[in-house]
Chains A and B, each alone.
Chain A
Amino acid sequence: MMRLKPLLRYKSSLVGVGILCFLIILSVYTVATLPFEEAARLWRAGELTWLDNPRNALPAWVNFFSPTKLPETLILNTQKPGPDVIKVSVRAGENIKISRVEMNFRYGFDDFPSEINLFFTSTYRTSPPQLTISWTKPDGTQIPLRRMTIAREDRFYISSDTVLSTELNQLMENRLGRKPAYTVPTSTILFGPFDETLLNPESVKVVKGDYRLSVEGLLFEPEADFDVKLVVYGKVYGWAGTDHLRRDIGIALLWGTPIALLFGVSAAVSIALIQMTIGAVSAWFRGGVDTVMQRITEVFLVLPFLPVLIMVSTLYKVNIWVILLIVVFLSSFGPGVKNYRALFLQLRESPYIEAARSYGAGDLRIVVIHLIPRVLPTMIPSVVLSAADFVFLEAALAILGIGDPITPTWGKVIQDAFYFGALFKGHYYWVLIPSALLAATSISFALIGFALDKIFNPRLKEV
């Protein structure tokens, strides 16, 4: 019934339809591949779930546009052995076992990793394993990192360990014979060259090549064992980067798409239908019905929309669909009622309404068959246009901190970014990607809406 062909005649609406189709496909893909419960759980899971992700990483695609390649995250794990991860165990006595782990990896990026962490798991009864950890650079230089006794679950934050940092700075000072003007970060010492460039943080370059982390473990029980996971955190992650909690922002952006579309479209459609019905009933029955409805509308018109919404969501922690209901309720008797009533007052005097009355059509039939279809052409473009408003409203509410606390949405990503100073710290991607999605959504609705307006109300062009 709905003929879309004329919509494709306008180039602008073609773009709009294209963007909207992309967003719809993205929504379908999201809903199909990542269940909502899973997304909500991941989004609220806390830092432990996301321990393997870099903090505040840029989106991976920035490497396409930059001559210097930012590092990606490298993970090496003895539980997933391969040619790069070798673990050898040798029995050295009745109860003593020596396990040697060698992790080789190639580091070919132009920037230093953001963090380097080691995670251990071990099994033993009473005597924990003793590990000696050392680092080998591409030129063969070996740097002892630490000797430590590990618990069943243990970790060694190589890049942020202050003891190690002091030791390495001392080591470097001895090698160079000079003290740099700043505390050289551990990752720079581990991945950089031992020469004059180290003295200036601007000039120091990554040494590309094969690195090796060796762990020699002394096990005091025959059944004892340990596993090592090395994570060299990069500076890029996924298609949308990560936030301050190492979460993949992509999850929130993906799930934000269907939620934004659903919220915008359902709010716009239901509000328009309700307003139109109220306008039609008010104009058709006139008299007391009209008076009551118009006075209610005027009361709602002076109610401040945003403060009421803020009040409700401060008192009750409401989810996004309750917010939708409140928005629909507050807008039901909105200014649209006045517009539709004015239209219907004009239409109710049309000769064909008189004709319908003469052959005995009832009130309901006249309203539904004759009045409402007559205003649909003027209604549809404005509904499409207002859908964008509601997408923005949802984001605005989230930025104000009165959104749904559980559902990941575009607005919440922007709120987090705002709250943790993304722009101040230069994490532009954190704000720009969700903003671009919001802008794309409203642009697509706007382009389609304007084209529909031209198609449904051709007379407007003459004005």
Chain B
Amino acid sequence: MVNSKVLEVRNLLLHYSTVRGVVKAVDGINFEVSKGETLAIVGESGSGKSSTALAIMRILPRNVAAYGGEVWFKDLDIMKIDEEEFRRKVRVEGISMVFQGAMNSLNPVIRIEDQVAEPLIVNMKFKRDEAVSEAHEALKLVGLDPAIGRRYAHELSGGMKQRVLIAMSLVAKPSIIILDEPTSALDVITQANIMNLLKRLKEELGFTYLFITHDLGLASELADRVAVMYAGKIVEIGSCEDVYIHTKHPYTKMLLDSVPTLREDKHPAFIPGAPPDLVKPPTGCSFHPRCPFIVRGKCDVETPPMLYAGEGHNASCWLLEKESG
């Protein structure tokens, strides 16, 4: 597969101002997604996964304190273009997004088919009936009967709603789909169905995903590469195999150890301490207060850069420097 980059994020920043101070939700992250590839961003709640998605899609809340960096979409730095151009070049056939919380992401007073067709009507000036027939195609693609297009959101089950949202995101034929926790608030069976659907779409139609989740298992199912986020930063990024098996960052390691396993006779370990306060993040490596391998005078003083940990595998931990050096 030729590595043609669809999305490249450089030093992306998104800070919110709150009454308590500035929350560094996304604090200078870098990653890239190639065509046909799936990058999973995993991390616990409040680590800045969803904010990353919002920053890329430029759907900012009102209390933004800082917003910067570069986001290259194909050959265009979309951080530099104005809202109208952004709409034309990115929202249309560019990047689309599936939001978390399928239950509330559909307007309860608009028919499903009209809602799925909306992006086409808004952006591509489709006529309503053409757009609706496209919407029916999209519904078929996600395994729904086009007849449900006549229904309203409250008549559908959670899984069906999530499928509708996926149909809505792919109806405009985007180059990359951002999936923001697409299976949260769904039961395990429905979750598996949705994951199978996403996998099928990827294999058959070659979709490119940016898959945001807190579930390491789900990430490994769908992703080619995984980025682990902690406190607004990416702490480890690499292929699935590298991150899951040749783990380099202590946080990733402990995160993997905390997942209960079915077949091995092993108790899940937990990570001591609590996630850092993003208003006053710890000095140095933000994981150092919880890290068992802390090097005093180094980890709590200097922020580690992304260090080489193998081909296409990076982690930000001073231990790697010691290893290599």
Contact = CB atoms under 8 A, between A and B. Distances in A.
Interface of A: 286, 350-352, 354-362, 365, 369-370, 373-374, 376-377
Nearest to B60: A357
B256 interface: no
Interface of A is mostly: helix
Contact of B118 (A351, A354, A356, A374): A356
Contacts, number: 58
Contacts of B109: 373-374, 376-377
Contacts of A362: 122
Contact of A361 (B99, B101, B106, B118): B118
B99 A354 contact: yes
A286 B62 contact: yes
B119 A352 contact: no
Contacts of A370: 107, 110
A365 B108 CA distance: 16
A376 B108 CA distance: 12
A157 B100 CA distance: 90
A289 to B, nearest CB: 14
Interface of B: 57, 59, 62, 87, 91-92, 96-97, 99-101, 104-110, 118-119, 122-123, 165, 168, 172
Contacts of B172: 359
Contacts of A377: 109
7 smallest beta-carbon distances between A and B, as pairs = A360-B91, A359-B119, A351-B105, A360-B87, A352-B107, A351-B104, A373-B109
Given A354-B59, A358-B91, A360-B119, A373 B110 contact: yes
A377 B59 CA distance: 29
Most chain A CB within a 10 A radius of its CB, from B57, B92, B97, B107: B107
A360 B118 CA distance: 10
Contacts of A350: 104, 107
Contacts of A374: 107-109
A350 B99 CA distance: 11
Given A374-B108, A374-B109, A355 B122 contact: no
A365 B123 CA distance: 12
Most chain B CB within a 10 A radius of its CB, from A352, A354, A359: A359
Nearest to A361: B122
Contacts of B97: 355, 358
Most chain B CB within a 10 A radius of its CB, from A286, A355, A374: A355
A369 B110 contact: yes
Contacts of B108: 374
A17 B166 CA distance: 44
A365 B107 CA distance: 14
Contacts of A286: 62
A291 to B, nearest CB: 14
B134 to A, nearest CB: 14
Contacts of B107: 350, 352, 370, 373-374
A103 to B, nearest CB: 73
Contacts of A360: 87, 91-92, 119, 122-123
Contacts of B99: 351, 354-355, 358
A359 B101 contact: no
A256 to B, nearest CB: 38
Nearest to A356: B118
A340 B118 CA distance: 25
A155 to B, nearest CB: 70
A365 B122 contact: yes
22 contacts: A351-B100, A351-B104, A351-B105, A354-B99, A355-B99, A355-B165, A355-B168, A359-B96, A359-B123, A360-B91, A360-B92, A361-B118, A361-B122, A362-B122, A365-B122, A369-B110, A369-B118, A370-B107, A370-B110, A374-B107, A374-B108, A374-B109
Contacts of A376: 109
Nearest to A360: B91
Nearest to A286: B62
Contacts of B168: 355, 359
A2 to B, nearest CB: 14
A360 B57 CA distance: 10
Most chain A CB within a 10 A radius of its CB, from B59, B96, B97, B118: B118
Contacts of B96: 358-359
Nearest to A365: B122
Nearest to B104: A351
A455 to B, nearest CB: 14
B220 to A, nearest CB: 27
Contacts of B118: 356, 359, 361, 369
Given A357-B59, A369-B118, 8 more contacts: A351-B105, A354-B59, A355-B97, A355-B99, A359-B96, A359-B122, A359-B123, A360-B119
